[in-house]
A and B are shown apart, each in its own frame.
Chain A
């Protein structure tokens, strides 16, 4: 039974979601093997939320997204997206969601970008009002300069911006971005994030995002779900995850002269010293600030340079997987 979704309602509601694939291998004599890509997965996203969906390659992220959006049917379990059963009401759901697969294009490669939007507007049967929306997106994503360029000639950054405008043209309630920033340079990433933040502030669009980029997670999401071997390994906020796996920020100190190990600095834990203490690596414990540590260091040894390393997503995920597997 499909019901018309109302505001504040659950946008994604998945229970016991499972997906098996039959993998065939071998030559003339084929062998069959069942691979479980997603196992008994529960997922809830409320309207207006921004959720980061994180995991190693092959953990089941894309399979989950395909099940949420109606591309793939679950082997077991139930899922409702925007109040619809994605399999039975694929076309109704398509009007409510926008999806961007970073690696793949939904634009027409031989058409100018402008033409792609014209066709998409027709496909979604958008009234004349869509022009306002399109102008808004062109402005915000800075598409004007290459609107008349065939898509195949666009740079990756330009194309992704074009893809996101295409996914948002029909003002979907849920925006799903699969690795949107992969392969982009730092500046393009930052502009894209700024756009998404503004877009969500203006329209309250719900966001589901998969990414390998810690900055994406920090800037764009309220909450993260980490998936491991098809199951939820962690659900909560990012600081909670970092605390749980002990992935602290690391301060790397380059000192003017060889210094004994700075083992007893408050708010830190010494990780390593190199070159007779010329370089020392300290984990920044939760609650302490880099500034406080610096003040402390300045009193003990002359400082030449310092860098702060943020824990990256892969690292955090790897640690989480390791603790989970160690715990059984």
Chain B
């Protein structure tokens, strides 16, 4: 955040400080997306609809049962809101990087390699998808309603947790997207597999981790830490005990999980890019 003052100025910044180049990249993207208002509005609506389908699943399931994995409908709405908010924000920020095969085919990645900026930073800032705010809006709506209808004691700890969780959760999903992008350098034709990883962990995150069998619980806690994005913090917020293997106080560890994911993500990305430029193996 070298010179935030320049962000507000009308004239384009020249040297622009440390973040100048990225500011220019992002603002040019956003302007181009907002150029066609009607089309943009429809896209936001479509994104909202995707979130709606997801929530419909929860709604239908709870039309015949009252408790799933230790959470009632209100509790599950809180879980869903947290997970979906984090995922949709991550999808907005970095979701486009699952298009690595397209970037390779069109030579966009080569153009990135010819510019004096880190490739991953260029990739992230090259196509931020504002339309995915539709899904975030739905998630935020569900989250706010859930916070009202659940019996929550808003202690400073709970409020802190409510602030930390979406940020760290977004970071976790962003990291998972980057891991998937790194892997895609090897799976050019099989890029759909990356979806299993990213969208799959989102799907798992919107349900209580306790309903899964032990191996899957271990997977979604320690390998792909989806449980940290919403389930564990939800237990803490609602004052519920965690199941065996995952005590509720782990809900505080979401930032640590985000750090771990990003460590792996940067390694995977580096390895993937080295594979592409032929520097590896």
On whether A and B touch (CB less than 8 Å), the answer reads: yes
Question: Interface residues, chain A, CB within 8 Å of chain B?
Answer: 19, 66, 69-73, 75, 87, 90-92, 94-95, 97, 99, 101, 103-106, 108, 110-111, 115, 118-119, 121-128, 130
Would B114 and A106 count as touching, CB distance under 8 A? yes
Query: Is B111 close to A, CB under 8 A?
Result: yes
Would A125 and B15 count as touching, CB distance under 8 A? yes
Question: In the complex the two chains form, what is the Cα distance from A7 to B227 in whole Å?
Answer: 59
Would B106 and A104 count as touching, CB distance under 8 A? yes
- Sample 30 A-B pairs with CB under 8 A, ordered by A number: A70-B114, A71-B110, A71-B114, A72-B277, A72-B278, A94-B114, A94-B116, A95-B116, A97-B114, A104-B106, A106-B111, A108-B28, A108-B32, A110-B32, A110-B35, A111-B28, A115-B31, A118-B24, A119-B25, A121-B14, A122-B13, A122-B14, A122-B24, A122-B25, A123-B25, A123-B117, A125-B21, A127-B14, A128-B14, A130-B14
Query: Could you say which residues of chain B place their CB within 8 Å of the CB of A110?
Result: 32, 35
Question: In the complex the two chains form, what is the Cα distance from A154 to B270 in whole Å?
Answer: 36
Interface size (B, Cβ < 8 Å)? Answer: 27
Partner of A69 from the list B16, B106, B114 (CB cut-off 8 Å) is B114
Q: Given known contacts A104-B106, A125-B16, is B114 in contact with A118 (CB within 8 Å)?
A: no
Query: Is B255 close to A, CB under 8 A?
Result: no
Identify which of A69, A94, A122, A123 gathers the most chain B CB atoms within 10 Å of its CB: A122
Q: Which A residue's beta carbon lies closest to that of B22?
A: A122
Query: Could you say which residues of chain B place their CB within 8 Å of the CB of A70?
Result: 113-114, 277
Question: In the complex the two chains form, what is the Cα distance from A90 to B15 in whole Å?
Answer: 20
Please report which residues of chain B, range 23-66, place their CB below 8 angstroms from some CB of chain A when the two chains form the complex: 23-25, 28, 31-32, 35
Question: In the complex the two chains form, what is the Cα distance from A101 to B114 in whole Å?
Answer: 11
Question: In the complex the two chains form, what is the Cα distance from A66 to B279 in whole Å?
Answer: 13
Query: Could you say which residues of chain B place their CB within 8 Å of the CB of A69?
Result: 113-114
B81 to chain A, nearest CB (A): 34
Would A125 and B279 count as touching, CB distance under 8 A? no
A-B contact count (CB 8 A): 88
**Contact flags B94-114 to A (C-beta < 8 A → 1, else 0):** 000000000000110011011
Would B13 and A99 count as touching, CB distance under 8 A? no
Query: Could you say which residues of chain A place their CB within 8 Å of the CB of B115?
Result: 94, 123-124
Would A104 and B110 count as touching, CB distance under 8 A? yes
Query: Is B20 close to A, CB under 8 A?
Result: yes
Query: Is B12 close to A, CB under 8 A?
Result: yes
Question: In the complex the two chains form, what is the Cα distance from A303 to B164 in whole Å?
Answer: 91
Question: In the complex the two chains form, what is the Cα distance from A119 to B22 in whole Å?
Answer: 9
B45 to chain A, nearest CB (A): 21
Partner of B20 from the list A72, A111, A125 (CB cut-off 8 Å) is A125
Would B12 and A122 count as touching, CB distance under 8 A? yes
Question: In the complex the two chains form, what is the Cα distance from A316 to B31 in whole Å?
Answer: 50
Question: In the complex the two chains form, what is the Cα distance from A225 to B15 in whole Å?
Answer: 39
Query: Could you say which residues of chain A place their CB within 8 Å of the CB of B32?
Result: 108, 110-111
